[in-house]
Chains A and B, each alone.
Chain A
Amino acid sequence: MLDIAYYPGCTLFEKAKELDRQAKNIANVFGYNLTEIPEWTCCGTVFPDTSKNISRLVGPYRMLANTASISDKLLTICSACFNVLKRTNKIVRENQEIREKLEGYTELTYNGDIEVIHYFEFLRDVVTYEKISEKIPVKRKLKVSPYYGCLLLRPHDELMFDDPENPTFLRDIITALGDESVEIPSQNECCGAYLLLNRQKEDLNLAKKIGLESQDFGSEILVTSCPSCYYALGKSGEANAVYFTEYMSGALGL
């Protein structure tokens, strides 16, 4: 078993425990052990877009600095955590002024040299799709729609993960698992989860649109990795949304 430094984040620790458990089980199947980094805290979930908000980078900076002493890679599953940690890592690497301020805040030195990876990158680059494909006992031939959401794709310049207009990583996993990928037009559009706290009726319209599209295209399930998307899509009542780990566990027979 190879250990990989892993940051679960608050949501996987509480409301999305199954995402955390299933992801660990899947990694075990391929001979990897997701080891939680010590003393992790909330990442802040939103990358601060106003330049005054350096204090909001302290949380992710502290986690990255703590990881640097034990590993050169940090794996995360939650889309928001990935977005925040990866963008923080980049800004720390490239912006000396911000780095020095964060050093002053935390009394930890870190220059941005670890790599933040998402679970999908781990499946794609470390495990590889061929290995995944070999482990499938029976091909179920389901019709599955990938739903990517925003935080794994944009901003592309900073995340460098997949094409924000035509992403393929979920499609490739679905194909590797022996199912049919049914791509819907809204697969990379926002589900509007942020707006739910506004408590206005139209706020579920975006999630409903995604759900209805998946029905129209005849897909049986809609897979996503983001806890907020999962919540909004489920709340819309139109989509049969599941976490990709749940879907993958089913395919692997776990």
Chain B
Amino acid sequence: MKNEINEEILKEFKKLSEENVHDCYQCGKCSAGCPSAANMSILPHMVIRRLQRNQPVEAIIEDAIWKCTSCMTCWSRCPKKVNLCRIMETLRFIYMTKYNDKYPISEIPKELLEEAPQQLIISGMRKFTY
């Protein structure tokens, strides 16, 4: 059963991201520069490793994809130009299309909606809801 889900997600992942995860040689530069790495349960390069091993479910269940701030530092420093930012975005997208919104709009506190800039609210919604 798990293998079937893994296969299905991997197929979807390849189609959506157009990234070749096997370009990555696990140098860890992405994790070293990631501003969010300290708060992640697994490090960014480990997310790629799990995809390389055809275990996307193991990557998608970790909070790393939600702690990613989409700052593109990993991608701009990667010696192999692997777009990890895009990989994270695709995994979030697959998670939400398959399961559910991560943070529905109704759960955002009212005071945050009142004081945060529109840019932040819209980008947050695009990141956490489908």
Partner-B contacts on A (CB < 8 A) = 9-11, 14-16, 42, 44-46, 49-53, 56, 78, 80, 150, 153-156, 164-165, 189-190, 192-199, 202, 205-206, 226-228, 230-231
Contacts and interface: CB of A to CB of B under 8 A. Distances in A.
A16 B115 CA distance: 11
A8 to B, nearest CB: 11
B112 A196 contact: yes
Given A10-B118, A51-B16, A150-B71, A228 B35 contact: no
Interface string B75-98: 111000001011001100100000
15 contacts: A9-B119, A10-B119, A14-B118, A16-B117, A45-B122, A51-B16, A150-B71, A194-B69, A195-B36, A196-B120, A197-B103, A197-B127, A198-B128, A227-B118, A228-B117
A225 B59 CA distance: 35
A11 B71 contact: no
Q: Is the interface of B mostly helix, strand, loop or mixed?
A: helix
Given A45-B123, A50-B17, A189-B35, A227 B117 contact: yes
A189 B16 contact: no
B23 interface: no
Contacts of A227: 117-120
Interface of B: 15-18, 35-36, 39, 66-67, 69-73, 75-77, 83, 85-86, 89-90, 93, 103, 108-109, 112, 115-128
Contact of A194 (B39, B93, B108, B127): B127
Given A52-B15, A189-B71, 8 more contacts: A46-B70, A80-B123, A189-B35, A192-B69, A197-B103, A198-B66, A228-B120, A228-B123
Contact of A50 (B70, B75, B77, B90): B90
A195 B39 CA distance: 11
A60 to B, nearest CB: 13
A195 B67 contact: yes
B109 A231 contact: no
Contact of B76 (A16, A156, A196): A156
A62 to B, nearest CB: 16
Contacts of A197: 103, 108, 112, 120-121, 124-125, 127-128
B125 to A, nearest CB: 8
A154 B71 contact: yes
Nearest to B113: A197
Contact of B122 (A16, A42, A198, A226): A42
Report the 9 A-B pairs with minimum CB-CB distance, sorted nearest first. Answer: A190-B71, A197-B124, A154-B72, A49-B89, A227-B117, A10-B118, A150-B71, A45-B123, A49-B86
Nearest to A52: B16
B113 to A, nearest CB: 10
A189 B33 CA distance: 9
Contact of B75 (A155, A226, A231): A155
A49 B127 CA distance: 11
Contacts of B112: 196-197, 199
Contacts of B125: 197
Nearest to A80: B119
Given A50-B16, A154-B76, A194 B70 contact: yes
A16 B89 CA distance: 28
Given A155-B75, A164-B76, A190-B35, A228 B69 contact: no
A194 B122 CA distance: 10
Given A154-B71, A189-B73, A44 B39 contact: no
A228 B73 contact: no
A15 B71 contact: no
